Amino acid sequence: MDRIKNYLYFDHAASSVIFPDVNEFIYEFNNKFTANPSSIHQLGVKTSLEIEKAREKIANEFNIKPECVYFTSGGTESNNWAIFSILYKFRNSNRKQVITSEIEHPSVINPLAFYAEMFGFELIKVKTLADGRVDLEHLSKIADENVLFCSMMQVNNETGSMLQITEIGKICKSSEIIFHVDACQGFLKSKMDIIKDNISLITINSHKIHGPKGIGALVSINQELITPMILGGGHELGFRSGTLNSSGIVGFAHAIEIFKNKQNTFKQINLKQEMINQLKSFFSGFHLNGSLENSSDYILNFSISGIHSKDLFKYLNANNVYVSTSSACSSKLFKPSYVLAAMGIEEKRNFEAVRFSFSPDHTIEDLDKVIRIMKGYVKS
């Protein structure tokens, strides 16, 4: 897919390239189902039927009822909604603390800080381990009957580190803390069990799994936990108003199907390990940021001593190789990554950090090409 175009795209954690099949599917859908899915005429009902099928498909990924899936405009909205719901609903609770990690995406950190202040909660951040996961010992110490809510990401968007969701869920359960997981980078890519892991709310989105942009969902195991944030015509059972993004929703569900089919081949190639091996053998100053064992196959973050990420980024960009130097949302501002800083990585190495993020469509040939180009950096 990426090879047909004249560039190499390794920035799928920022936004993945939509699968051509999904694009086609959406095009066909838009031609066929032009109605508002809230309209009660036959075409509206047919459109609504397609949406309900998509909802069921997504619910099946978590083994939950379709009614637990609420469509949103994406990960940021779902995160904001989960946080607003709980902090607003329980603003008069005796529990006055909320917990998150130091390495969350801004769409969790910022609304948590905002609503915590608005509704009178204290926000506590759990310390980070050198491998990019959270310090469970610290979490165990602070998670008690004073804590209402805990929000943690499944996979970090910058380093790919997989947080210990099962262990965090157990800790939350022991103190009856409501647990939200931002699964934007982990959905379909890493395992998670909403029931066994004691998760109440999950954020997912489409454009990280090669679906269309502008569509995501908030999964809530219990309807009682959510509070409407966008008011209007009462769509999504009155919980999230606004005309449903029909083509986005069906495209999202279709992308799930395709992604799952492609995943096995991708795992067999082990592109991340292969890239590390090749970079290590050529660049003596190669440092992996995070650990290989506890991280996603889809994200690789590394630094090369003596090569500033800004320079490598420019060089790769000029050679039509697209990567990130830090999380996409903040890439216009050149400042050290707060995620890497929380892991204890010193500023020099932090400024040398580059993120490659993969697609199940990537091949060894893509990797060979990019390695060849990177070797050229030293010669240039």
Partner 1 sequence: MKYDGELDLRGIPCPRNTAKALMYLEIQDIDSVSLIIIDDGEPVLNFEESLELESSYEIKNKERNEDAWNLYILKKD
| Stretch in the footprint of partner 1 (CB under 8 A) among 37-45, 172-180, 269-277, 296-304 | 37-45
38: number of Cβ within 10 Å: 13
Residue of 6, 40, 293, 333 that binds partner 1 (CB under 8 A): 40
160 or 251, CB closer to partner 1? 251
Residue 247 CB, nearest approach to partner 1 (Å): 16
Q: Is 48 in the site for partner 1 (CB under 8 A)?
A: yes
Q: Give the CA distances from residue 380 to residues 242, 312, 317, 353, in Å, rounded to whole numbers and listed in that order.
A: 53, 11, 14, 20
Closer CB to partner 1, residue 49 or residue 195?
49
Closest CA to 120 of 147, 91, 149, 146: 91
Q: Copy the structure tokens of residue 16.
A: 């993945």
The answer to the question of residue 38 lying near partner 1 (CB under 8 A) is: yes
**Considering the complex, what minimum distance in angstroms separates the CB of residue 36 from partner 1?**
10
Distance (Å, whole) CA 316 – CA 305: 17
The yes or no reply on residue 68 touching partner 1 (CB under 8 A) is no
Strands 353-357 and 299-304: antiparallel
Residue carrying structure tokens 């999202």: 252
* Size of the residue set binding partner 1 (CB under 8 A): 15
* Chosen residue from 30, 34, 45, 368 binding partner 1 by CB under 8 A: 45
Distance in angstroms (rounded) separating the CA atoms of residues 173 and 39: 42
Q: What is the pairing mode between strands 321-322 and 8-9?
A: parallel
CB of 49 to partner 1, least distance (A): 4
Report the DSSP pairing between strands 69-72 and 122-126.
Answer: unpaired
Q: Measured from the CB atom, is 127 or 235 closer to partner 1?
A: 235
Does 52 engage in binding with partner 1 (CB under 8 A)? yes
Rounded-to-integer distance, Cα 355 and Cα 322, Å: 10
In degrees, rounded to 5, the angle at the alpha carbon of residue 81 between the alpha carbons of residues 75 and 82 is 90
* Residue 224 lies near partner 1 (rule: CB under 8 A): no
Closest separation in Å from C-beta 214 to partner 1: 21
| Per-residue contact string for residues 234-253; x = within reach of partner 1 by CB under 8 A | x--x----------------
Q: Tell me the C-alpha to C-alpha distance, in Å, between residue 140 and each of 95, 161, 176, 294.
A: 16, 20, 13, 20
Q: Which of 21, 44, 57, 96 binds partner 1 (CB under 8 A)?
A: 44
Q: Is the dihedral of CA 279, 285, 288, 293 positive or negative?
A: positive
Give catalytic status of residue 172 as yes or no.
no
Question: Which residue stretch of 40-48, 88-96, 327-335, 337-345 sits at the interface with partner 1 (rule: CB under 8 A)?
Answer: 40-48
Pick between residue 39 and residue 93 the one whose CB is nearest to partner 1: 39
Would you name the residues annotated as active-site residues?
329
Q: Which positions touch partner 1 (CB under 8 A)? A: 37-40, 42, 44-45, 48-49, 51-53, 56, 234, 237
